[in-house]
Chains A and B, each alone.
Chain A
Amino acid sequence: MAGLQYLWHHRGGRIGLILISIVILLSIFAPLLTPYGPNEQIRGNELLGMSWTHPFGTDFLGRDIYTRTLYGSRVSLIAGALAVVLGALLGTFMGITAGYLGGITDAVMMRISDAISAFPAILLAAAVVAILGPGFIQVAIAIAIAQSPLFARLARAIALIERQQEYVEAAQSMGARSGRIMMRHILPNSMGPLIVQASLSVGIAILLEAGLSFLGLGVQPPTPSWGQMLADALRFIDIIPAYAIFPGIALTVVLVAINLLADALRDGLDPQHVTSKRIT
């Protein structure tokens, strides 16, 4: 609750919070906000322009673009959040283990992490999807793998500092096992920067999901996703510009909102950032 209060008092955070809350509410209450189903094809109503009946027009199969944009937010938000949770779990585990244990474990974990981060995220995610096959969960896993090095590096850096702290030495002297020290002592002390990183990564994950869906590797038809809608719209952009404009606007709004939130969280939670602001 204190976190929400902080965000509310941060100018950017407040805007981000309002925007993202609107998007989340729209996605939850989508069935109440439109008379159409996301996959409902209205025969004879293909490629209609904007009207009261179809505020954003209809697509090439006669589906309401407004409805699909609303439902598309579910895919973007859930895929983004799921990918970040998975990526954060994987990366944090790798980073804390590497930083705390050091030695060969550190070397192996970090080389794996370096190898993953050597590839552009979209390329790596596309390669993973090519192996796993297209689909919602596969896309989330692919994005998680692509994002895990960010968390691994951060968690490792924190673990390297924390393992030298007195409370860790105290736990060691009391016979606590490495796993317990990492989970109960180091991890809670790393949460601030990791949460900031996670908030930044949600935006990237949503963009990656849209990119993969645009390439046909993401969520599969007929499930609506903004990236896929943008890809479909390419062919019809001369006739129904709204086909591309509204999913594009929705994607932009979500990304702006998440970045504003992430900036606000960084201002509040990242000790390095707070310190550097005080110094300057």
Chain B
Amino acid sequence: MSNIRSKLLSSIAASAMALAASSATADNVLRLGQTSSLPNLNPYVLAPAYEPMVNNLYDTLTRYDANMAPEARLAESWTFSEDGLSLTIKLRQGVTFHSGKPFTSADVKASMDFVLNPDNGALISGFAKRVTQLETPDEHTVVMSFEAPFPGVFDLFELFFIVDIETSSDFSKDANGTGPFKLASHEPGTLTRLDRNASYWNGASSLEAVEIITSPNQQAALLALKSGELDLVTELGWIDVLPFSRDEDFTTGSAPSGVAHDLSLNLKVPVLQNPKVREAIDLGLDRERIARLFFGPEGTTWCLPYNPNSIAYFEEYDNCEFNLDKAKAALESSGETLPIELKILTSTELRTEYTTVAEILQADLGEIGINLTIENLDTAGYRAAYAKNRTYEMASHAFGRAGKDPSALLETTVVFRPNDNVTGYENPAYVEAVKAGGSTPVLEERRAAYKEVARIFREDRFILPIIPRIRLFVSQNELSNIGWSADGFAVFEKVEIVE
């Protein structure tokens, strides 16, 4: 018995030592924990699980800096033609892929062709179609042509990762980019290890490696962070961050996430075609409470799908309110038979917060005569019901590309695009306004077009923005210089571990 006990104790001690040795400070490896599994290394999928990987394995032509100005990356310089219909890009020379192959304009073209091929399911394909032609006059020059001026082109570049397509056709195990880290190993659902790219064009990272570790749930990740097994956990709620903010061993912070919650209304459902019913739902949506619940004092609300500093933001249309009395009055004047029975689609598996929004809405709308049934599906079921088959009635949802150029958001997301959006909303005026705002570089013209879009949003209420997400994170104190892209994707290039 004592023999067994001593063996057990020594194994525990050995495990503890192994654990201690695995902390970042010991081996200069950054370990990030995330709950979503990274199934492959395709940078164009852009699901949450891919976010810590994309900017570290791959590079983009440009990346927005903190002031949302495009910063040169693989593109060294760029010039628009006078009519705004073409963009000439001079590429950085001396850059090589992880395989050692030199980076040239042919790789930009190959990556663009890959994105545009509908079989590859790239999320940015709709946006990339604005590039009508891509020419490569020499190895270090790319000329892109557009049908109309394309002011949102840098938004496209932000997500247009350059890949050596020839050697990365199977993203399940290959990833040949030019990023600051190169692929060392990839075990889907468990661990992805990226080693330092010693010949990185912007200087090799001081980190030895980055490990993206799949945790069974957020609490397990936070416990691993507390024990020193992980160095960084992102995508947290403020309540998760709260205990760490009082602990001097940890650093807490926030970054924009490029994602915002919304309530999507399917206008193919007869009762939702009634504008008064939509108005009642809008008035019954307690944005303040949701913001406070998810992000505490840092939470803010959105009535329009933009930040107040966006060119598409207009204060006069940022006019939503939570008022159940008005909501009830609107519903009673709708002419519909009460109570109205509706289903709200959610997926706890995809985002816990979707269900929280649904629960809040269910309680509030129940008071005014709308009975919501929560339909909580798994990720695949949710996506099928929302985007593919569009069989949902109302959906608790979140959209990306929030907080950048409005043309990217309005023209490409399934929620907002003027034609064939998931809500079934059709309005020639909306089509025209979105097109006008995204096809001119002249600021006043764009503002005028987006003012019309804002008016339509608030009058027709087919999509109800709720709150922008912020990326709350906790890291070990030793970690510094974590970078974040405009979409809130982690950038580990300049991260340092200081003892």
Q: Which of A41, A60, A216 contacts B348 (CB 8 A)?
A: A216
Least CB distance from A58 to B in Å reads 13
In the complex, identify which listed stretch (B238-246, B258-266, B299-307, B473-481) lies at the interface while the others stay far away. Answer: B238-246
Contact indicator B239/A239 (Cβ below 8 Å): yes
Least CB distance from B207 to A in Å reads 30
| CB-contacts of A58-83 with B (<8 A) | 60-61
Least CB distance from A228 to B in Å reads 10
Contact indicator B359/A220 (Cβ below 8 Å): no
Chain B interface: which size bin? 20 to 34
Question: Quick one: given A46-B293, A134-B376, A235-B239, are A216 and B349 in contact (CB under 8 Å)?
Answer: yes
Q: Does B205 contact A (CB under 8 A)?
A: no
Q: Does A133 contact B (CB under 8 A)?
A: yes
Q: Which of B219, B237, B239, B359 contacts A221 (CB 8 A)?
A: B359
| CB-contacts of A36-95 with B (<8 A) | 39-41, 43, 46-47, 60-61
Cα separation A236 to B293 with both chains bound (whole Å): 12
Q: Does A130 contact B (CB under 8 A)?
A: yes
Contact indicator A133/B362 (Cβ below 8 Å): no
Least CB distance from B297 to A in Å reads 14
Minimal Cβ-Cβ distance residue in B for A43: B289
Cα separation A124 to B293 with both chains bound (whole Å): 35
Minimal Cβ-Cβ distance residue in A for B240: A235
Cα separation A60 to B355 with both chains bound (whole Å): 13
Using Cβ atoms and an 8 Å threshold, which residues of chain A touch B334? none
| CB-contacts of B288-337 with A (<8 A) | 289, 293
Minimal Cβ-Cβ distance residue in B for A44: B289
Least CB distance from A124 to B in Å reads 17
Q: Does B218 contact A (CB under 8 A)?
A: yes
Minimal Cβ-Cβ distance residue in A for B358: A221
Q: Does B360 contact A (CB under 8 A)?
A: yes
Contact indicator B289/A133 (Cβ below 8 Å): no
Contact indicator B376/A221 (Cβ below 8 Å): yes
| CB-contacts of A111-140 with B (<8 A) | 130, 133-134
Contact indicator A61/B360 (Cβ below 8 Å): yes
Contact indicator A238/B360 (Cβ below 8 Å): no
Question: Quick one: given A61-B356, A133-B381, are A221 and B218 in contact (CB under 8 Å)?
Answer: no
Q: Does B449 contact A (CB under 8 A)?
A: no
Question: Quick one: given A235-B219, A236-B239, are A41 and B363 in contact (CB under 8 Å)?
Answer: yes
| CB-contacts of B356-377 with A (<8 A) | 356, 358-360, 362-363, 374, 376-377
Minimal Cβ-Cβ distance residue in A for B362: A222
Least CB distance from B250 to A in Å reads 14
Minimal Cβ-Cβ distance residue in A for B373: A220
| CB-contacts of A221-236 with B (<8 A) | 221-222, 234-236
| CB-contacts of B75-108 with A (<8 A) | none
Question: Quick one: given A234-B219, A235-B239, are A220 and B374 in contact (CB under 8 Å)?
Answer: yes
Q: Does B170 contact A (CB under 8 A)?
A: no
Cα separation A73 to B226 with both chains bound (whole Å): 34
Cα separation A46 to B348 with both chains bound (whole Å): 20
Using Cβ atoms and an 8 Å threshold, which residues of chain B touch A43? 286, 289
Cα separation A47 to B289 with both chains bound (whole Å): 13
Q: Which of A130, A222, A236 contacts B359 (CB 8 A)?
A: A222
Contact with B along A263-278 (1 / 0, CB 8 A): 0000000000000000
Contact indicator B360/A41 (Cβ below 8 Å): yes
Contact indicator B293/A221 (Cβ below 8 Å): no
Cα separation A222 to B360 with both chains bound (whole Å): 10
Least CB distance from A142 to B in Å reads 15
Q: Which of B239, B286, B363 contacts A39 (CB 8 A)?
A: B363
Using Cβ atoms and an 8 Å threshold, which residues of chain A touch B376? 134, 220-221
Cα separation A46 to B286 with both chains bound (whole Å): 15
Q: Which of B219, B240, B348, B377 contacts A133 (CB 8 A)?
A: B377
Using Cβ atoms and an 8 Å threshold, which residues of chain A touch B360? 41, 61
Q: Does B378 contact A (CB under 8 A)?
A: yes
Contact with A along B208-228 (1 / 0, CB 8 A): 000000000111000000000
Minimal Cβ-Cβ distance residue in A for B219: A234
Question: Quick one: given A133-B377, A216-B349, are A60 and B289 in contact (CB under 8 Å)?
Answer: no
Least CB distance from A104 to B in Å reads 38
Cα separation A40 to B364 with both chains bound (whole Å): 10
Contact indicator B363/A239 (Cβ below 8 Å): no
Contact with B along A232-263 (1 / 0, CB 8 A): 00111011000000000000000000000000
Contact indicator B378/A130 (Cβ below 8 Å): yes
Cα separation A222 to B361 with both chains bound (whole Å): 11
Using Cβ atoms and an 8 Å threshold, which residues of chain B touch A134? 376
Cα separation A236 to B219 with both chains bound (whole Å): 10
Cα separation A39 to B360 with both chains bound (whole Å): 10
Minimal Cβ-Cβ distance residue in A for B375: A220
Cα separation A39 to B289 with both chains bound (whole Å): 17
Least CB distance from B286 to A in Å reads 8
Using Cβ atoms and an 8 Å threshold, which residues of chain A touch B358? 221
Using Cβ atoms and an 8 Å threshold, which residues of chain B touch A130? 378
Least CB distance from A211 to B in Å reads 14
Using Cβ atoms and an 8 Å threshold, which residues of chain B touch A238? 242-243
Cα separation A234 to B381 with both chains bound (whole Å): 26
Cα separation A39 to B371 with both chains bound (whole Å): 13
Using Cβ atoms and an 8 Å threshold, which residues of chain B touch A60? 239, 293, 356
Minimal Cβ-Cβ distance residue in A for B220: A234
Least CB distance from A143 to B in Å reads 19
Cα separation A216 to B347 with both chains bound (whole Å): 10
Cα separation A220 to B348 with both chains bound (whole Å): 10
Question: Quick one: given A40-B363, A235-B218, are A222 and B239 in contact (CB under 8 Å)?
Answer: no
Minimal Cβ-Cβ distance residue in B for A135: B376
Least CB distance from A138 to B in Å reads 12
Using Cβ atoms and an 8 Å threshold, which residues of chain B touch A222? 359, 362-363, 374
Using Cβ atoms and an 8 Å threshold, which residues of chain A touch B217? 234
Question: Apart from A61-B359, A61-B360, A221-B359, what 20 extra A-B contacts exist at CB < 8 Å?
Answer: A43-B286, A46-B293, A47-B239, A60-B239, A60-B356, A61-B293, A61-B356, A61-B363, A130-B378, A216-B348, A216-B349, A220-B376, A221-B355, A221-B358, A221-B376, A222-B362, A234-B219, A235-B218, A235-B237, A239-B239
| Listed A/B pairs (11) with beta-carbon separation below 8 Å | A39-B362, A41-B360, A47-B239, A61-B359, A61-B363, A216-B348, A220-B376, A221-B376, A222-B374, A235-B219, A235-B237
Q: When A and B form their complex, which 3 residue pairs have the shortest distance between CB atoms, in order from nearest?
A: A41-B363, A234-B219, A220-B376
